[in-house]
Amino acid sequence: MSKIKPSKGAPYARILGVGGYRPTRVVPNEVILERIDSSDEWIRSRSGIETRHWASPEETVAAMSIEASGKAIAAAGIDASRIGAVVVSTVSHFSQTPAIATEIADRLGTDKAAAFDISAGCAGFGYGLTLAKGMVVEGSAEYVLVIGVERLSDLTDLEDRATAFLFGDGAGAVVVGPSQEPGIGPTVWGSEGDKSETIKQTVSWDRFHSGDESSLPVDSEGNVKFPAITQEGQAVFRWAVFEMAKVAKEALDASGLSPDDLDVFIPHQANARIIDSMVKTLKLPEHVTVARDIRTTGNTSAASIPLAMERLLATGEAKSGDTALVIGFGAGLVYAATVVTLP
């Protein structure tokens, strides 16, 4: 018989507060068109994006995270010292070590909270949410701060017609804590590494630093390009539309719900056409509010779901206690979907 004492966590976990931060600079499509041969109408029709936010030098990954987290902690009604773990999902923190989560945990005033980063692209918020739920129920942390944050403007090739208009910057955060009833459903998650080439960094860091400029991409003026995110748009579109609708349905089934039981649908804000196709495939009823933050925020990867959630609650399009299906998907290819009760 084991001598290990059982964990003493909460019966269930739920999201207690959400916060977001969007950089002050708003970038319209006209700015993007200065570097690519396209049109405002084409960008809007292909992606649904009209504007996006780009961070200033002062709006760092840490600074944006702290702003979003402060709002989430205040909304949860707790003191930062009660945060037992900080989980940050990002692909745009450029220091290999230490994790940016440790700086954020310290600057927020946590009491030496566990802190770590995860790299799961646009599914990162769902991954972090799942880890947070496990910590609260298991008892290793009473409250967990989950942050999705990106400065994708640093990883955007402004001469790449396929991606230059897609990406934006921002941070979204939630506090996950104890609950007496289920507030975060089972997660359906996974990866398809055989499709990893469809979304990737253009050049690996070791190749970029090799000094062999003959093997590196250059811009229109002959300068070596900084590594950026690239994708095979049509392949990603087909995968997201056909496969991710199945994953979303599995998450509903795992929670014992049907589309009729939903109040809100918050998919990763990758592309308006993908969102529309998923709504159609899932046969969501008219009463379900669909997040469309993509229009003014662009694709912010790990930050997109909490940012969209925060905006829906702030505008009154969704309300506390609503049942929401969330799903993230992206580079890897990875995905994560679950049903949550909105804070």
Report how far apart, in Å, the C-alpha atoms of 299 and of each of 240, 270, 272 are.
14, 5, 10
Catalytic residue among 29, 53, 93, 299: 299
Please classify residue 305 by burial: count the beta carbons closer than 10 Å to its beta carbon, then call 0-12 exposed, 13-18 middle and 19+ buried: buried
Q: Which strand ranges, in their side-by-side order, compose the sheet holding 83-89? A: 12-21, 169-179, 143-151, 83-89, 114-118
Nearest CA to 134 out of 178, 174, 76 is that of 178
Cβ atoms of residues 67 and 292 within 8 Å = no
Q: Which residues on neighbouring strands pair with residue 54, listed in sequence order?
A: 25
Residues 6 or more apart whose Cβ sits within 8 Å of residue 95:
none
Catalytic residue among 29, 53, 268, 271: 268
Torsion angle in degrees (nearest 10) through CA of 121, 231, 239, 312: 50
Residue 299 designated active-site: yes
E-strand stretches of 183-273: 188-191, 199-201, 229-231, 264-267
CA dihedral sign of residues 93, 128, 272, 315: negative
| Cα–Cα distance measured from residue 35 to residue 62, given in angstroms and rounded to the nearest whole number | 29
| Cα–Cα distance measured from residue 121 to residue 328, given in angstroms and rounded to the nearest whole number | 9
Report how far apart, in Å, the C-alpha atoms of 321 and of each of 75, 204, 226, 263 are.
14, 44, 44, 9
| Cα–Cα distance measured from residue 274 to residue 269, given in angstroms and rounded to the nearest whole number | 9
Nearest CA to 118 out of 132, 134, 138 is that of 132
Catalytic residue among 29, 53, 93, 122: 122
Residue 268 designated active-site: yes
Which amino acid would we find at residue 343?
P
- The residues annotated with a catalytic role in the active site are 122, 268, 299
